Structure 1
């Protein structure tokens, strides 16, 4: 990754190149393309000019990269490129004016993002099915399918006002967007599956592009933008959440988050005085802020947490404004306008279609009021000649007062807020509620690799730059700090943190590359140049790759590991399809075909069997009690009439009398002194025998006569998933010699009576499902 820092900066740093530059410029003025033989330089001098970026290759020839800039530098002229003048053009500000090289390098970086998220495509497209990863995606799949079934077309937006409360108060914008896109493409179940499977990948690519624009805008260095995208590609905590098929809600949040940060940077850096407010660019930023904030709040019920950095940015900016004797009202006017518009958008949608609770939808309005107070306080402090530290003290006091007013003046809203806060700090069996530095493991390494250690020093650097009136770094640092704090509380926020951590990791990487002399120093903005990135030569490419491996190898290793943990494995998929087939053959419909399993996979099974994958609540409450029960009759009565199938997996349970061991290890058969089970017919066994599925059946009853009080055993061999299994049950004849043995499997049974020999009896399959009797002759 070579770079072009600008001819002026190069010649100031390397005055010995001045004469060589003059010679090359003279040839370049005379010829439209030239070769090494055309210039009066030795190879060493020529190589210096190429590596410095003054000369670049154009096909088989060479040319001066920017003749006007080189000529101005040689003449000792400088170009006035103040921050406001550099931000007049929206295209330049967002770095949309790509040259072919920049476009090619960004495309290559995006290809890495794409491949890291789609390499496991074979686990998603299986057997004609689209197998989404994880458990929660089937919740969204269920609701999108329900909307599609009830709505006429993509134009039937009235359907969105009657979504169930679980959606309208959860992730309404996400579900509505996925339905709308699927409807545009036809709206069938297959199309819905395709849309949900690919939306996380699209989210990752959109986020990566926005991150590139943000990083370049903040650092004035395309190399930082490219490095940021590459680090985002290999942060495991972001990669698995945006992997193909993992249609969870988090992936939908990431673009809104980075869009808001980018819009904040544009809005703040485009304003230096009142005159700059007459230009359109700050107001483009304001619109971006409004869209981003409204999108975040409507996309997720915890979205208000993701707008917290906006308030911190304004607070920090006003402190800098007072320290530099600048009007906070002028500087922050586009931000205030954007937040206000976002508040209006969010509340309007809430009022019209009922999305989100009043507290969630009203959060941007509360933020608006807070920003107004902060700006007004800063203006007063500036008018009365107060310092930034004095203003900070006043802001803290106002914050405490505001919190007390909220606590005692709005008790109902405070109760709701307190409950949500309890949810944030909860810790239960759900892995994403653990803290980033939880002592039970090394989650910070497994989810972030070494990017955390690479990015933290750069974050400290960014805070220092923000203190020096660099608004872009203020935004990046605020977002990184708030999201890191949230990730420390719950790892579910690691994906939100990832783009900003990647930005700082990219900055640190370019700095490290310059420190070992394989790249020019990083700019961090402020000197007027946009540092470009060239395709490096073989030696430099090798050095950069080794350096990237040093910091990124752990993340690269963990990406497939973390992604594989959320994939629906062959055992789960095989069990689901086997149950689906069995239910269809026996004419079972929901709720008769409900599948009881561990809650973490329950939605997967029930989606493929019945399509009813909205909730795993019953499984969460029932499954553990069922498999740990040592009383078969009690266990069966617990699920009778409610469960059609049971799926078991390998666990640490070893007590032989538990339902888990009786089913999973012995398929309901007699084992030693532990009696067999009568109501669980095996329908699936995975190749590694780690997954087993059982149909819950009434069972057939074998009846007959034998010697009084004698032992009677019945035994048959059944074939399940190409595996032969022996199924045995025993009983004792009563005082009259009569015996009954309930069995769960059809087949030919060998009936062995103590002291009387053997006989056989046929148990039809229909009898097992009807609960009939079979008599031993």
Structure 2
């Protein structure tokens, strides 16, 4: 809003020259506003010397950053703690983690403690988010003028979708994607524009150092993009698509395209020269693998292909122009040749083609795993139905402004006979980002850039129509299009227009941004608490930050994949499944298992000692708000609906259909552990079930999303005799701090056989156990009117000893 107010203060600015005309000062003010919003989480997410990170992936970044600090400048490409006990190759490019590690070492004077690492890494996305405003400003300035650029920067500073990924604590590479891609685009398009204006060609490279320098810098940025995210080909391909459109436009206008060819070649070759040595010597490169997930020969071939495209397209368009062929003949040949090249690649380089297919599947969210991830859903979808709730939350009124601004920009730009390079790029880039944003909610942070640009442009147009500051006058020095204006406009209506825009249009955007920055994820604090307890109260595993190929940690932790990164970083324990979507099938089968012995076989296969669950893993039909249970049977190749029952509940004016979990749901390992604490007794449907034999609850958090930790134990076998055929019941009173009630009864039952023999396998000791959850009595074994009390020491549980309870008369 600072820049809008300044635009309305023309008379004052004339009296105080310099300050209000300094766009860099205004941009700095906008950055301060953005900084204040992004630092709001500092007020609630620094607790007990820890930063409560807001999202799953941030926890693995912190694990990798810590690893990098301990092995600087090398980072891990393999982690034996992931997909335990199988291990996993890490696909994330390392640039973000290397930057965070380097800054942490500087701040920590070469030996940073854990809090310094977390604090520095948490500030990094804030800094990156603010720095992104600079290339945004210059790109918008080149396309729309300085005032539109300032307004776009203001919108970007307060836009919820941009704030979401750049708040304090969001230590993830997404912020860096935006900064690096914007830098790459502004450098490339400025270089192309200068190359065109100076007539750059192969014969005069030395005389045109400035556009060549920009092209080289764009190539460096493209290489940085490869080192930032494995989806880098998406960003770089936007330049290729733009170049094709620009070639066609130049052919239509009978312009020599050599400037574009030279610029594209310099950029792609520079990127190739930087990436190739790293790719060829990487783990995958040495194996001559072609995969886009890891740095490999895919990236060498990809960048080489772009260089070939620029060289071949430049030669083709020039040749066709020399032959005076129709302008559309060269684009048609390029499209045909591209299709033929894809067919050739499919036959000659099937690995390369497979990666292209996998990339398209990723963008469409078509894989089985991706379909379980909420952020992969289409932007206009919520719970499977058409909804505008996500655009409203992340863009608010800026979404509508951006649509109107894009239409207005097309209306003012396309009719012109000389559409500039930057304008063509902006339109092509925006159309591609719109498609990506509509395909998946996760790309709202990318769409935020273009929404900021065009909503800022729409505000600019509105101010211009109000006659503010004579905005309608063309600024020929920047090649700005002349905008329609309503006249000179007095200061009073101008101020009214500014306040209307500020209050009605931008305040909802600012309000949503503050709300996002002020809201802590409901599960973060509880999982931090639980994993801190796990780290401090369970046997330490080896190779915490040296988990390379060949290392074998002693045991792992079973949980759902959403929480694996919490366990890896905060808990410092290996995880079966994590946010790389590893180990999901075994985790899914474990939690839906209706038979404890089958669940145990999975625990044994995965060498797990602990199980961690939370309320969110349950079903929303069973009271778990935002419950994700349906994803679990889905990944176990089962029908989620088979876990529910439907019935009608009578009401005063009729009846209402109710959905609840059925016996299959409440008999699952998840439900027995979470709802019944593994203790058995009456379940939610009123049935009586036995307690789990090999799982004891060792910790439970008390927050809004309770996390429970169970230890997998051998269990002690209690044997005895009773009347043949009689029912024998076992009970043990437990004290559970932090639970719904302080006391819980462990229950199990058995039928004495024809010889009167019965047995129970129990997980809880009655003595010698130092844990948080303790027995407050001995085991009571009852049959009819007879009762016997049995003491079970901890070593009997841990070693699987047999204890004879004697005779029940």
**Given the two structures, how large is their TM-score scaled by the length of structure 2?**
0.75
Shift of 1:337: 2.2
1:599-638 matches, cutoff 5 A: 599-612=561-574, 616=578, 620-638=584-602
Q: What corresponds to 1:753 in structure 2? A: 782
1:26-45 matches, cutoff 5 A: none
Does residue 575 of structure 1 match 2:530?
A: yes
Does residue 208 of structure 1 match 2:151?
A: no
Shift of 1:211: 0.9
Shift of 1:622: 2.6
* Cα gap change, 1:53 to 1:139, in 2 (>3 Å): same
Does residue 479 of structure 1 match 2:429?
A: yes
Shift of 1:145: 3.1
Q: Deviations over 1:561-608 (max 9, x none)?
A: 666475753322222223333315999998555322221112212322
The gaps in structure 2 that reach 5 residues or longer are 81-86, 286-293, 482-489, 545-551, 623-660, 683-687, 766-774
SS at match of 1:711: strand
CA–CA separation in structure 2 for the residues paired with 1:666 and 1:705 = 29
Shift of 1:492: 3.2
Q: Deviations over 1:387-407 (max 9, x none)?
A: 644554444444444444444
Higher mean alpha-carbon deviation, 584-593 vs 135-144, is at 584-593
Q: What corresponds to 2:698 in structure 1? A: 683
Q: What corresponds to 2:639 in structure 1? A: none
* Cα gap change, 1:449 to 1:462, in 2 (>3 Å): same
Q: Deviations over 1:396-423 (max 9, x none)?
A: 4444444444445544533443343333
Q: What corresponds to 2:311 in structure 1? A: 372
SS at match of 2:729: strand
* Cα gap change, 1:160 to 1:768, in 2 (>3 Å): closer
1:103-182 matches, cutoff 5 A: 103-122=24-43, 124-149=45-70, 151=71, 153-154=72-73, 170-182=92-104
Q: What corresponds to 1:671 in structure 2? A: 681
Q: What corresponds to 1:727 in structure 2? A: 745
CA contact under 8 A between 1:135 and 1:601: conserved in structure 2?
yes
* Cα gap change, 1:461 to 1:310, in 2 (>3 Å): farther
Higher mean alpha-carbon deviation, 409-418 vs 646-655, is at 409-418
Shift of 1:759: 5.1
CA–CA separation in structure 2 for the residues paired with 1:486 and 1:317 = 21
CA–CA separation in structure 1 for the residues paired with 2:78 and 2:150 = 44
CA contact under 8 A between 1:703 and 1:739: conserved in structure 2?
yes
Q: Which has the higher helix share?
A: 1
CA contact under 8 A between 2:535 and 2:573: conserved in structure 1?
no
Shift of 1:280: 4.1
Q: What corresponds to 1:26 in structure 2? A: none
Q: What corresponds to 1:40 in structure 2? A: none
CA–CA separation in structure 1 for the residues paired with 2:593 and 2:76 = 44
CA contact under 8 A between 1:647 and 1:692: conserved in structure 2?
yes
* Cα gap change, 1:674 to 1:258, in 2 (>3 Å): same
CA–CA separation in structure 1 for the residues paired with 2:494 and 2:555 = 61
1:412-561 matches, cutoff 5 A: 412-427=351-366, 428-438=371-381, 439-440=384-385, 441-442=387-388, 443-463=390-410, 465=413, 468-517=418-467, 520-521=470-471, 526=476, 528=478, 543-544=497-498, 546-552=500-506, 555-556=509-510, 558-559=512-513
CA–CA separation in structure 2 for the residues paired with 1:166 and 1:512 = 54
CA contact under 8 A between 2:54 and 2:170: conserved in structure 1?
yes
Q: Deviations over 1:356-401 (max 9, x none)?
A: 1212233222112212233333333443445644554444444444
Q: What corresponds to 2:487 in structure 1? A: none
* Cα gap change, 1:684 to 1:359, in 2 (>3 Å): same
* Cα gap change, 1:760 to 1:297, in 2 (>3 Å): same
CA contact under 8 A between 1:450 and 1:555: conserved in structure 2?
yes
Higher mean alpha-carbon deviation, 560-569 vs 363-372, is at 560-569
Shift of 1:282: 1.8
Q: What corresponds to 2:772 in structure 1? A: none
Q: Calculate the aligned-residue CA RMSD, in Å.
A: 3.9
CA contact under 8 A between 1:261 and 1:476: conserved in structure 2?
no
CA–CA separation in structure 2 for the residues paired with 1:703 and 1:542 = 86
CA contact under 8 A between 2:93 and 2:228: conserved in structure 1?
yes
Q: What corresponds to 1:23 in structure 2? A: none
Higher mean alpha-carbon deviation, 461-470 vs 500-509, is at 461-470
CA–CA separation in structure 2 for the residues paired with 1:483 and 1:50 = 30
Q: May I ask how many residue pairs the two structures share in their alignment?
A: 687
Shift of 1:320: 3.7
Shift of 1:210: 1.7
SS at match of 1:609: coil
CA–CA separation in structure 1 for the residues paired with 2:353 and 2:671 = 48
CA–CA separation in structure 2 for the residues paired with 1:513 and 1:188 = 50
The gaps in structure 1 that reach 5 residues or longer are 5-48, 67-97
CA contact under 8 A between 1:424 and 1:489: conserved in structure 2?
yes
**Given the two structures, how large is their TM-score scaled by the length of structure 1?**
0.78
Shift of 1:611: 4.6
SS at match of 1:299: coil
Higher mean alpha-carbon deviation, 165-174 vs 436-445, is at 165-174
Shift of 1:240: 2.0
Q: Deviations over 1:305-362 (max 9, x none)?
A: 1112212332333334344443221365334422332232222432355471212233
